Chain A
Amino acid sequence: MTSQDTRPVPGVSRAPRTTQPAPPRHLPPWAWAVPAALLVLLARYMAAAAGGWYAFTDWNGLSPHATFTGAENFRQIFSDPAARGALLNTVKFAACFVVLTNIIGLCLAVALNQHLRTRFLLRTVFFAPVVMSQLATAFIWRFLFDYSGPINGALDGIGLGALKKTWLANPTWSFWAVVIVLVWQFSGLAMVVLLAGLQGIAQEVEEAAQIDGATSWQRLIRITLPLLAPALAISIQLSVISGLAVFDQVMALTGGGPLGATETLATQVYKQTFVFGRYGYGTALALLLTVLIAGAALIQQLVTRRLERESA
């Protein structure tokens, strides 16, 4: 008996079975999904479960036995000013990143949705940074922010030499330097997602409003934005997730310094675990980051649903 005889193939049961039966080496068809399912089960589900468990232990990464220490790791995180700073920075980075990227992305999308002759070329320019390695582009920016680099050079050139700074070594400015690089890299992605949303809006609606005498600002606020809500939700969701997990840019620009001013949960997970070998503590930080991301995603879902219900 072969699998082909026994399994009901939707729609072909009426076909005459004159064809030769499949050779017996055939596996049952559901077996085709087994390698993928096993890999996902092992590398994502079991690994995440293990991570959730180790966050409550003093695991050193080597010994097979980890002692359950309860909330000790979390007590340490919240009593350590460095870890608290990293947590605060993560939230601040994400907030600034989400707001600025989506505002700039929205402006670009609205401006480039019009029939400009060079709109395709312009979209390409703004989207190009998205494709580039975040690490490599962060190094270019490190040069721009260098004390003898172009930004200070330009300030000198226009007679504002007094504003020159060691941008990346200054605790206040290094934070904003990282934000600028993040916004530069990802505004193009928000633009593309929002452009796709804009193109789904029927032109007739806008034209009807225009004939009724609505100004372009009124059309944007009353018609375009409400209709754009689903695309905006996706764009915000994407930016929240990537904003909370910032790693590459911080490592390349400041390494977390100066004095922990740009340290984030992701860089702390890396340092505590792979530099200092504190696996249990590292997984606790990773769990905190995970809860933060899941919480932000959940809040965002609830807000979106509510807004959709209100506008409906």
Chain B
Amino acid sequence: MKGRRNVLLAREIGLWALALVWSIPFLFLIVISVKPSAELFTSALKLPSRVDFSAYAGAWHSGHLGQSLLSSVIITGGSVLGTVALSSVAAYTLARRVGRLSVVLSLLFLIGIALPSQLGLIPIYSLFKSLHLTGTYTGLILLNIATWLPLAVFLYTGFLRQLSHEYEEAAQIDGAGPYATFTRVVFPLLRPVTGTVAILSGLLIWNDFFNPLIFLSGSGHTPLPVAVYSFVGNFATRWNYVFAAVAIALLPALLFFAFAQKQLIQGFSGGVKG
């Protein structure tokens, strides 16, 4: 038994060594972002002589990161709310109704998951351009909702099929109409799936660079990834500024991760168990 414990201890130490290597990028992020500008051109491996937060203030102002943070919140918030609202309602109908239309619609969403988004991108871009939706939050939010709807409908439908009808029946017997039944009874019961859908889509939309780059570039509505991209283009060698901007962009995701870690990891691996 003692030998086995030693093996486990050795494994734990080995893994921690690897974890330390894994964290090196983050360690540099923190150290470089608080390096005083004068020490930037000394060896990259040297620790700063003092902690200097001026790069954060500089990056915040010259990168207009406040505006970008707001844009990120609006885009992510709007997209997640829209996805949850439309998909939960659609899935409720599809899971509870039988009939040909329901089957056709379910299939429409199911195939939609596998449908590649790359191919449709350019036609959507020119459609949005002619509708003056490029450069607006509305356009990107609509696109995000359309992208994540099929998967969200799939997750909601699966959950609803396992959920007992009895609560809804009780509510309807008590005189609740379809709207009240859904908002007061069904939707609260869907909380676990809503969590998975919101966390997954929220994270991917928050970190999305490609779509905002195309649909919002030059509009003054750019979210954090695009702002960091153009910021780095302008300040390429001032690594303390670059890293302060990167740190500001990473912080919300990091806080969110600390907060939702357990459900997030379960959400990612949920497909395997189900």
Q: Which residue of A114, A131, A297 is within 8 Å of B11 (Cβ)?
A: A114
Contact residues in A for B108 (Cβ distance below 8 Å):
37, 40-41, 45
**CB-based contact B146/A42 at 8 Å:** yes
Closest to A42 in B: B146
Tell me whether B38 is interfacial, beta carbon within 8 Å: no
* Docked complex: B115-133 residues within 8 A CB-CB of A: 115-127
Tell me whether A177 is interfacial, beta carbon within 8 Å: no
Tell me whether B61 is interfacial, beta carbon within 8 Å: no
A15-54 near B? 1/0 per residue, CB < 8 Å = 1000110110010011011011101111111111011101
**CB-based contact B269/A286 at 8 Å:** no
Tell me whether A260 is interfacial, beta carbon within 8 Å: no
Q: Which residue of B23, B25, B119 is within 8 Å of A286 (Cβ)?
A: B119
**CB-based contact B169/A189 at 8 Å:** no
**CB-based contact A282/B122 at 8 Å:** yes
**CB-based contact B25/A141 at 8 Å:** yes
**CB-based contact A39/B149 at 8 Å:** yes
Closest to A233 in B: B272
CA distance A115 to B7 in the complex (A): 12
Tell me whether A230 is interfacial, beta carbon within 8 Å: yes
Tell me whether B1 is interfacial, beta carbon within 8 Å: no
**CB-based contact A131/B253 at 8 Å:** yes
Tell me whether B239 is interfacial, beta carbon within 8 Å: yes
| Residue among A33, A149, A294 having the largest count of chain B Cβ atoms under 10 Å | A33
**CB-based contact B225/A289 at 8 Å:** no
Contact residues in A for B256 (Cβ distance below 8 Å):
131
Tell me whether B57 is interfacial, beta carbon within 8 Å: no
Tell me whether B59 is interfacial, beta carbon within 8 Å: no
**Smallest Cβ distance from A111 to chain B, in angstroms?**
6
**CB-based contact B229/A48 at 8 Å:** no
Q: Which residue of A15, A116, A146, A153 is within 8 Å of B8 (Cβ)?
A: A116
CA distance A153 to B253 in the complex (A): 30
Q: Which residue of A37, A43, A124 is within 8 Å of B143 (Cβ)?
A: A43
CA distance A227 to B272 in the complex (A): 12
Closest to B229 in A: A135
* Docked complex: A94-152 residues within 8 A CB-CB of B: 111-112, 114-118, 122-137, 139-141, 143-144, 146, 148-150
**CB-based contact B249/A33 at 8 Å:** no
* Docked complex: A131-182 residues within 8 A CB-CB of B: 131-137, 139-141, 143-144, 146, 148-150, 153-154, 157
Tell me whether B254 is interfacial, beta carbon within 8 Å: yes
CA distance A134 to B26 in the complex (A): 13
Question: Which DSSP category, helix, strand, loop or mixed, fits chain B's interface?
Answer: helix
Q: Which residue of B87, B116, B147, B177 is within 8 Å of A290 (Cβ)?
A: B116
**CB-based contact B44/A153 at 8 Å:** yes
Tell me whether A9 is interfacial, beta carbon within 8 Å: yes
**CB-based contact B250/A133 at 8 Å:** yes
CA distance A149 to B237 in the complex (A): 11
Tell me whether B97 is interfacial, beta carbon within 8 Å: yes
**CB-based contact A140/B243 at 8 Å:** yes
Q: Which residue of A39, A48, A136 is within 8 Å of B119 (Cβ)?
A: A48
Contact residues in B for A10 (Cβ distance below 8 Å):
96, 98, 165
CA distance A54 to B243 in the complex (A): 41
CA distance A134 to B226 in the complex (A): 12
**CB-based contact B28/A196 at 8 Å:** no
**CB-based contact B8/A115 at 8 Å:** yes
Q: Please give the residue numbers on chain A whose beta carbons come within 8 Å of chain B beta carbons, in ascending order.
A: 4, 9-12, 15, 19-20, 22-23, 26, 29-30, 32-33, 35-37, 39-48, 50-52, 54, 61, 111-112, 114-118, 122-137, 139-141, 143-144, 146, 148-150, 153-154, 157, 184, 189, 192-193, 195-197, 200, 230-231, 234, 245, 247-248, 251-252, 266, 269-270, 273-274, 279, 282-283, 286-287, 289-290, 293-294, 297
Q: Please give the residue numbers on chain B whose beta carbons come within 8 Å of chain A beta carbons, in ascending order.
A: 8, 11-12, 15-16, 19, 22-26, 28-29, 32, 41, 43-45, 86-87, 89-90, 92-94, 96-98, 101-102, 105, 108-109, 112, 114-127, 142-143, 145-147, 149-150, 153, 165, 169, 172-175, 177-179, 203, 206-207, 209-210, 213-214, 224-225, 228-229, 232, 239, 242-243, 246, 249-250, 253-254, 256-257, 261, 264-265, 268-273
Not counting A30-B105, A43-B120, A133-B225, a sample of 8 additional A-B residue pairs whose C-beta atoms are within 8 angstroms of each other reads A50-B123, A150-B24, A150-B28, A197-B272, A200-B272, A251-B229, A279-B122, A286-B122
Listed A/B pairs (14) with beta-carbon separation below 8 Å = A9-B169, A33-B89, A33-B94, A36-B109, A37-B108, A43-B120, A43-B146, A45-B108, A129-B22, A131-B203, A143-B239, A148-B44, A252-B229, A274-B125
